[in-house]
C-alpha cells in the first residue's frame, strides 16, 4: 500500500501561503520552477500550517477531557517533554524540554494531557517566556491544583544560525504558582527534575 498522509490542511490557506512562498523564493534570487523547488512552496505552506496548528486547538478542553476526581495530593511531575516551536521574531525554530509539576486538589489529569497542552501552546508563533506562562496558567486555571510549576529549557535557532551565532546557549524559563511559591516545595521539584 502506498504511503498515505493523514494530515489535513485548509486548501485555501495552503494555496494562498504557497503563492507567497513562491514569491519569496523568487525574490531571494532562486528559480522556483527548478526541479528541487517546484513543490517547495506547497510543502512549506503545509509545514507552516502544521507548525502553527495550536491556534486551532483548545488546551482547556484537552485538560477537561481527562480530569478525574482523586484524593492524591502529592507532587505529580512529567519531565523532559520535548517541545518544538517557532520564534515569533524571526520565524526560526526553538526546541528543548518542558518540565511540569502540579499538586492535585481533588482532581488529577491524564498524564498525556500535559505534553499535549505544551504542544498546543508551542505550535504557535511564540516567545519562550510567554509559552512558559501560558502552560502554567492553563494548568492552574483549569485544574485549580494546590500548586503548579513549569520549567522550560530551549535552544533558539535565531541565536545559533544568525545574529550572535552562539551554538551552546540554553535559555531557561520558569514559573511557579501556589505551593510551588514556597521555597521548600520549589526546591523539591527542582531537585527531582535534576536542576
CA dihedral over 112, 114, 120, 125, signed as positive or negative: negative
d(CA 70, CA 141): 18
d(CA 78, CA 116): 12
d(CA 131, CA 125): 10
Question: Phi and psi of 167, rounded to 5°?
Answer: -80, -25
d(CA 84, CA 28): 27
Q: Cell numbers 552562539 label which residue?
A: 166
| Residues identified as active-site | 87-90, 128, 156, 158
d(CA 176, CA 135): 11
Q: Residue 99, annotated ligand binder?
A: no
Q: Residue 138, annotated ligand binder?
A: no
Q: Residue 87, annotated ligand binder?
A: yes
C-alpha cell at 141: 486555571
The binding site for Zn(2+) comprises: 87, 90, 158
Binding-site residue ranges: 87, 90, 158
Amino acid at each position: 500500500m502506498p504511503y498515505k498522509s493523514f494530515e489535513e490542511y485548509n486548501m485555501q490557506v495552503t494555496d494562498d501561503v504557497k503563492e507567497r512562498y513562491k514569491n519569496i523564493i523568487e525574490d531571494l534570487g532562486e528559480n522556483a520552477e527548478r526541479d528541487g523547488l517546484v513543490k517547495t512552496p506547497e510543502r512549506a505552506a503545509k509545514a507552516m500550517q502544521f507548525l502553527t496548528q495550536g491556534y486551532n486547538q483548545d488546551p482547556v478542553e484537552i485538560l477537561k477531557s481527562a480530569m478525574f476526581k482523586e484524593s492524591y495530593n502529592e507532587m505529580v511531575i512529567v519531565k523532559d517533554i520535548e517541545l518544538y516551536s517557532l520564534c515569533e521574531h524571526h520565524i526560526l525554530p526553538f526546541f528543548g524540554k518542558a518540565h511540569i509539576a502540579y499538586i492535585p486538589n481533588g482532581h488529577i489529569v491524564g498524564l498525556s494531557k500535559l505534553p499535549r497542552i505544551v504542544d498546543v501552546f508551542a505550535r504557535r508563533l511564540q516567545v519562550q517566556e510567554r509559552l512558559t506562562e501560558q502552560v502554567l496558567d492553563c494548568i492552574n486555571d483549569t485544574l485549580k491544583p494546590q500548586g503548579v510549576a513549569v520549567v522550560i529549557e530551549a535552544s533558539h535557532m535565531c541565536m545559533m544560525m544568525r545574529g550572535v551565532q552562539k551554538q551552546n546557549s540554553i535559555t531557561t524559563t520558569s514559573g511557579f504558582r501556589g505551593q510551588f511559591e514556597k521555597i521548600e516545595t520549589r526546591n523539591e521539584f527542582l531537585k527531582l527534575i535534576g536542576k
